[in-house]
Structure 1
Amino acid sequence: MFEQQASHFSPQSRQNGHYLCLHGHFYQPPREDPFTGLIPIEPSAGPFANYNERITFECYRPNAELGNFTAMSFNFGPTLLAWLERSHSDVYQRIIASDHAHLQRYGVGNALAQVYNHTILPLATCADKRTQIRWGLRDFLQRYGHPAQGMWLAETAVDLETLELLADEGVLYTILAPWQAARPIDTNQPYRIRLPHGKSITVFFYNSLLSGGVSFNDHMTSNADEFVSSVVMSQLNAQKSFDREAQLIMVATDGELYGHHKPWRDKFLAYLLTSGAECHGMEICTPGRYLQLFPPTHEVELYTPSAWSCSHGLARWSTGCSCTEGDSSWKSALLSALTNINGKASQLFEQTAGELVADPWLMRDEYLALHYGWEEPALFWDRHCKKNTLVTQEQIWRLRMLLEAQFYHQYSFTSCAFFFEDLNRIEPRNAIAFARRAISLTWQALGIDLQSDFVQDLASAHSWQTGLSGADLYRRLPIVDEGLLPRA
């Protein structure tokens, strides 16, 4: 199918092509109470009940109805897609259908997968990195019906181990910021990254001037014709391709700016994708399609670990840095508390599951299908339990509780918990709540108390605005049924 479509382009037009890619990273952190599955009322989102509802009304729905997802490159956070499927199935179906339409027309989809919980992968263990990648790819396959070629890394945070794991899972490309390259590059072309064990992966670097302008300069996106004719076209000559005239200008931004952060920009995007770019000699293209037309011919090394929204490597999500105001030392204390409890829970999981299961970590990597009911339980347990080992229903129940605990430990590392300026925000409180849900599940399965040490660790994290500690925030979480948690 792709070859039929590609035949419409002459060799000369391919070599002289000017291509424009608009990539939107659509993501919201999970807001559900992990014990009830319900999103609490968020007054500041009024007149809507919560920000998921508000952003759907302002961004996801209008962009879907305008057909923007059919032409642009995009990724949706898996946890956000799960909520959309439950709460606004018509919007969800339009998003999925957009990728199908692009696949049918060009032989390649325009949606990218995303690491499942928006975890900063270079800060994660190798096992957790692999789980995040495999869960993201499995979720994509289930929803879109075909394997993902590209994968969005949370905050474009990258190290070589992460890229190797992507390549091991068959991912062909990702998108990074230009300052993540170890030397000056031409952002108008993709690059190949050679990996330590012989494999490689392709990286597209977005145009920082355009991406930053679209994100923060209202004037730049007030007129789509002027945006292409004066701003985009100037970038074609700003960097000369090394050996070919074909050039790809990539603009990568948070997707929510198209209608939520910036009202009416969904309509700007629609005109740009359907008419504006073409009228000025630019062809709209996506990374997967461009990669088929123009495989990378140059290589580059990366500055690692690095990310797109922190000039201090990964300090914004680990030790804290000047990227956020105030005293950010709470970040290292919170990360340490979550890392400690994750390590203890992982040991318990491996020890308990190892008695019954051939490979506990492979079982965890494949757990998403059981959690969401995409696979029959009997098939799942038959595949993972040791052969010739009698496993009782009580043992199966215990394994399921421990897998659910692992599921919520992964949720606790959502990057948004560390992104902003203070501990006493909804994002860190949610991370602590997810960890408490994991504590509850471990307590039910094994009768082992992980709560005491966790609360003690949380006491070291303090809000510089209110003086509250992480332990205070833990105790202020909604009350749950007696027996689901060890006594404080």
Structure 2
Amino acid sequence: MIEQTLSSDLSIRPSAGTTYLCLHGHFYQPPREDPFTHILPIEPGATPFANFNEKITSECYRPNVEEGNFEAISYDMGPTLAAWLEKAYPDVYQGILRADQLHRARYGVGNALAQAYNHTILPLATTRDKWTQILWGLQDFRHRYGHDAHGMWLAETAVDLESLDILAQCGITYTVLAPWQAAEAIDPTEPYILPLKDGRSITVFFYNAPLSGGVSFDWTTTSNADVFAASYLPNHVVQSKSETGEPQIIVIATDGELYGHHKPWRDKFLSYLIRHGAPEYGFTVCSLERYMLLHPAHREVRLRVPSAWSCAHGVARWSTGCECTEGDGSWKKFLHQALVNLAEQSHQLFERHAEEALNDPWAARNDYLPLRNGWESAESFWRRHGKQQRVPDDTQLAQRTIQLLEAQYYLQYSFTSCGFFFEDLDRIEPRNDIAFARRAISLMWQALGVDLQHSFLEDLQAAKSWRTVVTGADLYRQLPPVAPELLPPLS
């Protein structure tokens, strides 16, 4: 712990009750299960744990639940992480859900946000896929928390106006962005109203960049919660607001895994800060929705779009490659195009063949998650989406339609942002995206006997690692073998 004399000068402290502190944790793990076996592979880097999910649960999720941190902060729990925790550690999973329930009971609003389902970079998605990602994220949240979400965390805070307008149409009232995503100078100590189409709007909170960066990357910043509250936070208070009693909020947004996994013992820092450090130095710990209820936004803002919190080039980090990562990032363009081409071919086949059994294949896709996960009965699903409001008499047609929907499910997984975030193609994250695409190819092959593998491999050949010269096609061929009948023959 850092030894530092704390100032006793009360003038550095904001007026009690007028300055709020919100700590937002983005808790997320990408899906790493084999899409054919649904088994999470052994990950040697996580030793002595079997995999990183186990390791991070021990170092972060469980300690923060046991210390009650989830009850005080603002947070989102990604659907893929939630699904794994629900099965592997139901007590930890229930503890995270219970935190939102306790917050609602105390303040009348929850402190959990939903998340776009597959951590997809929404500005790069088609309009149809944006709807699916947002609706699946909201359905997942409603099932787990028992109420509708009012806030949504966007992967990498990547945003465009269409995505925000869809959020507003779905009942989302607020989100969180980086200050540099604003198109004009803003005061990050207050939320803003972003006008959208047809009179709709959404509230945007901008996180404090220096504090969020310091908490994330500088070990000294989080060494002592008293020092943090006494010396770091006051530097970001707007004194004119403090003097007049005008409310203001300091939002610190980070990956949730920071608290205990990326930085050991920072779960203890967080616990002390929210219970002692911040309150004792005049800051009211508050969630985003609670603050919005107490002090609604009143000024408007314009945004730079598309933009994200971890790319200075719009969203090029996940599409064409850019200087945000080292080396030759051109592989991203080719991998992304390969996935887009596969999705377009699959979508055409899906629409043509699924409409034999479904009134509107795309509406059915948007509602597929509850059916797939067993939250809705097959009878209910077919009554809402089937021709003549029922399951087809032809059992093969019904089975084929479900296979086509399942292929759409895995195509969504193939665009998980982690596959494009890092510097090189020859990593586990791009491999996983390619593995999800292969699962979709398999389902299309089983359903229709159509070979989408050949053209996908041709497209993947252009994606090449600048470190190992491995191509995307090589990564595809290196995936674990499956029964020969599940895939078209490899040429």
Question: In structure 2, do the counterparts of structure 1 residues 312 and 447 end up closer, same or farther at CA, with 3 Å as the change threshold?
Answer: same
Question: How far did residue 393 of structure 1 move?
Answer: 1.5
Q: Tell me the alpha carbon deviations over residues 161-203 of structure 1, each in whole angstroms, 9 at most, x when there is no partner.
A: 0000000100000000000000010000000000133200000
Aligned ranges 1:43-442 → 2 under 5 Å? 43-237=44-238, 245-387=246-388, 391-442=393-444
Give the share of equivalent positions with the same residue, in percent.
62
Question: How far did residue 234 of structure 1 move?
Answer: 1.5
Aligned residue in 1 for 2:31: 30
CA contact under 8 A between 2:357 and 2:387: conserved in structure 1? yes
Question: In structure 2, do the counterparts of structure 1 residues 100 and 487 end up closer, same or farther at CA, with 3 Å as the change threshold?
Answer: same
Question: How far did residue 240 of structure 1 move?
Answer: 5.2
Q: Using the alignment, how far apart are the partners of 1:36 and 1:475 within structure 2?
A: 17
For this pair of structures, how many residues does the alignment match?
A: 476
State the TM-score, normalizing by the size of structure 2: 0.95
Q: Using the alignment, how far apart are the partners of 2:275 and 2:435 within structure 1?
A: 44
Q: Using the alignment, how far apart are the partners of 1:459 and 1:145 within structure 2?
A: 46
Q: Tell me the alpha carbon deviations over residues 22-43 of structure 1, each in whole angstroms, 9 at most, x when there is no partner.
A: 0000111111000000011111
Query: What RMSD over aligned residues (CA atoms) do the two structures have, in Å?
Result: 1.6
Question: In structure 2, do the counterparts of structure 1 residues 388 and 122 end up closer, same or farther at CA, with 3 Å as the change threshold?
Answer: closer
| Range with bigger deviation, 352-361 or 437-446 | 352-361
Q: Tell me the alpha carbon deviations over residues 423-467 of structure 1, each in whole angstroms, 9 at most, x when there is no partner.
A: 000000000000000000000000000000000000000000100
Aligned residue in 2 for 1:42: 43
Q: Using the alignment, how far apart are the partners of 1:175 and 1:416 within structure 2?
A: 20
Aligned residue in 2 for 1:449: 451
Structure 1 spans left out of the alignment, 5+ residues: 1-12
Aligned residue in 2 for 1:10: none
Question: How far did residue 132 of structure 1 move?
Answer: 0.2
Question: How far did residue 358 of structure 1 move?
Answer: 1.4
Aligned residue in 1 for 2:467: 465
Question: How far did residue 244 of structure 1 move?
Answer: 6.6
| Range with bigger deviation, 453-462 or 229-238 | 229-238
State the TM-score, normalizing by the size of structure 1: 0.95
Question: How far did residue 82 of structure 1 move?
Answer: 0.1
Q: Using the alignment, how far apart are the partners of 2:304 and 2:243 within structure 1?
A: 22
CA contact under 8 A between 1:330 and 1:461: conserved in structure 2? yes
| Residue 487 of structure 2 is aligned to residue 477 of structure 1 | no
Paired amino acid for 2:232:
V
Question: How far did residue 356 of structure 1 move?
Answer: 2.3
Paired amino acid for 2:347:
S
Question: In structure 2, do the counterparts of structure 1 residues 348 and 241 end up closer, same or farther at CA, with 3 Å as the change threshold?
Answer: farther
Question: In structure 2, do the counterparts of structure 1 residues 258 and 239 end up closer, same or farther at CA, with 3 Å as the change threshold?
Answer: farther
Q: Using the alignment, how far apart are the partners of 2:245 and 2:238 within structure 1?
A: 13
Q: Tell me the alpha carbon deviations over residues 457-480 of structure 1, each in whole angstroms, 9 at most, x when there is no partner.
A: 000000001001000110000000
Paired amino acid for 1:337:
A
Paired amino acid for 2:315:
L
Q: Using the alignment, how far apart are the partners of 1:382 and 1:297 within structure 2?
A: 44
| Range with bigger deviation, 232-241 or 420-429 | 232-241
Q: Using the alignment, how far apart are the partners of 2:244 and 2:161 within structure 1?
A: 28
CA contact under 8 A between 1:189 and 1:241: conserved in structure 2? no
Aligned residue in 2 for 1:4: none
Q: Using the alignment, how far apart are the partners of 1:125 and 1:248 within structure 2?
A: 35
CA contact under 8 A between 1:273 and 1:284: conserved in structure 2? yes
Q: Tell me the alpha carbon deviations over residues 316-358 of structure 1, each in whole angstroms, 9 at most, x when there is no partner.
A: 0000001101000000000000000001101111111122211
- Structure 1 runs, 4 residues or longer, greater than 6 Å off: 241-244
Structure 2 spans left out of the alignment, 5+ residues: 1-13
Q: Using the alignment, how far apart are the partners of 1:164 and 1:266 within structure 2?
A: 36
